[in-house]
């Protein structure tokens, strides 16, 4: 019998595996981390996850009925909360969270290599999106013309998402995927549903479209898209690390390795698609605050040019700059303020001056 050389001792048999390089070690370390996040003792069985996320598995008629009923009700609640500026009502729509099921189902389909599950889940998300947006538009068209829904906090807080919203969406997505994979974390799912916020942004999209503001609608749609992409990416990573990829391959009759490269590439492209405009929005928000501070200084100097003139408030209203001034007599020439603002703000905003006649009285001592 031939004696193996020193280089041959301890060598693994050639089974087609990749060499033990840095990438392989990093992948194993990531796998160990995910196994700690989803311990085997608390890991939910793969069949249970499929039953919860695939609307076409098990009792299909009951699942579809529940999904569309809860979606319509959540849409009505969300739109009502948006148009009445009621945070509590909007939170009610968040807790129902019917869209999270098919969105996570997309991630499950990617991990399982089952294109039909991913496409069916995507179709459910697309159909739900259309339904909620249509509800928002219809409700807005039915409102009296005296109602200014675009100025309330439920709309303004969802039409200009930034990079911070994307970071929060990914953190919430990972929390949701881990909670779904573990049997002992089911109680945290309502809180995760509130944080990820899927239906309310779509309600805002419909409201903005009904008000004839497609740019604001695009901002709210970007917020929804970022939350959905974060859920899909987080579900794909967590479900793979939790061992569901291995379970899915074992459940397949042909035991073929799922082709996930295209799905992973598509997920990366989707992340870039939502990350770029959100980064731009964040940069614009920082610059807008800088320009607002400079405009406020200019407005205070402008108001001080008349006796007793003071500035009560300076704020952005869309692309316009609103300046509230108080003085006992006539305000200064607005043209002078416009020139100073134009020298600071690059898009030359329209300056709207709201003048209040009066003066501030110091309290008697």
Residues 206 and 312 grouped into a single domain: no
Furthest-apart CA atoms within the chain: distance in Å: 110
Per-residue confidence (pLDDT) for residue 75, from 0 to 100: 93
Q: Please give the residue range of the domain that contains residue 41.
A: 29-259
Residues 62 and 161 grouped into a single domain: yes
Residues 183 and 84 grouped into a single domain: yes
Residues 218 and 327 grouped into a single domain: no
Q: What is the DSSP annotation of 209-242?
A: HHTT-HHHHHHHHHHHHHHHHHHHHHHHHHHHHT
Residues 84 and 167 grouped into a single domain: yes
User: Would you tell me the crossing angle of helices 22-37 and 214-241 to the nearest 10 degrees?
Assistant: 100
Contact 230, 170 (CB under 8 A): yes
Residues 241 and 309 grouped into a single domain: no
Instruction: List the structure tokens of 89.
Output: 């009502």
The radius of gyration of the chain from alpha carbons, rounded to an integer in Å, stands at: 28
Q: What is the DSSP letter of 324?
A: E
Residue 23 maps to a domain: no
Residue 269 maps to a domain: no
**How many Cα neighbours within 13 Å face the side chain of 234?**
27
Residues 44 and 161 grouped into a single domain: yes
User: Do strands 351-357 and 320-327 pair parallel, antiparallel, or not at all (unpaired)?
Assistant: parallel
Per-residue confidence (pLDDT) for residue 271, from 0 to 100: 75
Residues 122 and 181 grouped into a single domain: yes
Residue 54 maps to a domain: yes
Residue 187 maps to a domain: yes
Residue 323 maps to a domain: yes
Residue 20 maps to a domain: no
Nearest to 130 by CA among 73, 199, 197, 66: 199
The Cα–Cα gap between 31 and 25 comes to 10
Q: What is the DSSP annotation of 306-321?
A: STT-EEEEEEEETTEE
Contact 61, 37 (CB under 8 A): no
Residues 347 and 297 grouped into a single domain: yes
Instruction: List the structure tokens of 33.
Output: 């981390």
Residue 5 maps to a domain: no
Residue 69 maps to a domain: yes
What CATH number is attached to the domain comprising 344?
3.30.300
Instruction: List the structure tokens of 206.
Output: 């419909």
Residues 197 and 66 grouped into a single domain: yes
Per-residue confidence (pLDDT) for residue 9, from 0 to 100: 42
Q: Is the dihedral of CA 199, 114, 271, 213 positive or negative?
A: negative
pLDDT, averaged in runs of 10, over the chain (365 residues) = 44 44 51 71 86 87 92 93 90 87 89 85 94 93 75 85 86 88 78 82 93 89 90 87 79 57 69 78 82 90 88 84 88 88 87 81 57
Residues 188 and 99 grouped into a single domain: yes
Nearest to 114 by CA among 30, 46, 60: 46
pTM above 0.85, yes or no: no
Residues 234 and 313 grouped into a single domain: no
The Cα–Cα gap between 347 and 296 comes to 17
Per-residue confidence (pLDDT) for residue 18, from 0 to 100: 45
Q: How many domains does the chain have?
A: 2
The Cα–Cα gap between 192 and 273 comes to 24
């Amino acid at each position: 019998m031939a004696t193996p050389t020193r280089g041959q001792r301890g060598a693994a048999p050639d089974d087609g595996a990749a060499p033990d390089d840095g990438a392989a070690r990093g992948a194993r370390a990531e796998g160990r981390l995910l196994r700690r996040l989803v311990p085997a003792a608390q890991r939910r069985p793969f069949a249970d996850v499929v039953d919860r996320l695939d609307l076409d598995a098990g009792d299909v008629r009951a699942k579809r009925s529940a999904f569309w009923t809860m979606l319509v009700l959540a849409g009505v609640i969300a739109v009502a909360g948006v148009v009445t500026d009621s945070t509590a009502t909007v939170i009610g729509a968040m807790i129902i969270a019917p869209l999270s099921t098919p969105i996570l189902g997309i991630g499950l389909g990617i991990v399982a290599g089952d294109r039909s599950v991913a496409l069916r889940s995507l179709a459910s998300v697309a159909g739900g999106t259309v339904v909620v947006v249509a509800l928002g538009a219809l409700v807005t068209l039915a409102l009296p013309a005296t109602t200014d829904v675009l100025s309330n906090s439920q709309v303004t807080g969802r039409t200009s998402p930034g990079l911070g919203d994307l970071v929060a969406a990914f953190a919430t997505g990972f929390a949701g995927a881990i909670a779904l994979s573990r049997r002992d974390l089911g109680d945290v799912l309502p809180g995760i549903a509130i944080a990820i916020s899927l239906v309310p942004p779509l309600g805002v999209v419909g409201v903005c479209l009904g008000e004839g503001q497609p740019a604001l609608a695009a901002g709210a749609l970007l917020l929804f898209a970022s939350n959905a992409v974060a859920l899909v990416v987080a579900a794909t990573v967590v479900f793979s690390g939790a061992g569901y990829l291995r379970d899915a391959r074992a459940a397949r009759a042909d035991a073929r390795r799922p082709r996930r490269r295209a799905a992973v590439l598509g997920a990366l492209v989707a992340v870039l698609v939502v990350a770029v405009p959100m980064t731009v929005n964040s940069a614009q928000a920082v610059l807008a605050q800088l320009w607002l501070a400079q405009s406020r200084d200019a407005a205070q100097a402008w108001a001080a040019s008349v006796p007793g003139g003071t500035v009560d408030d300076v704020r952005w209203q869309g692309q316009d700059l609103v300046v509230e001034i108080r003085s006992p007599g006539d305000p200064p020439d607005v043209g002078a303020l416009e020139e100073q603002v134009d020298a600071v703000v690059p898009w030359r905003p329209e300056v709207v001056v709201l003048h209040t006649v009066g003066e501030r009285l110091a309290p008697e001592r």
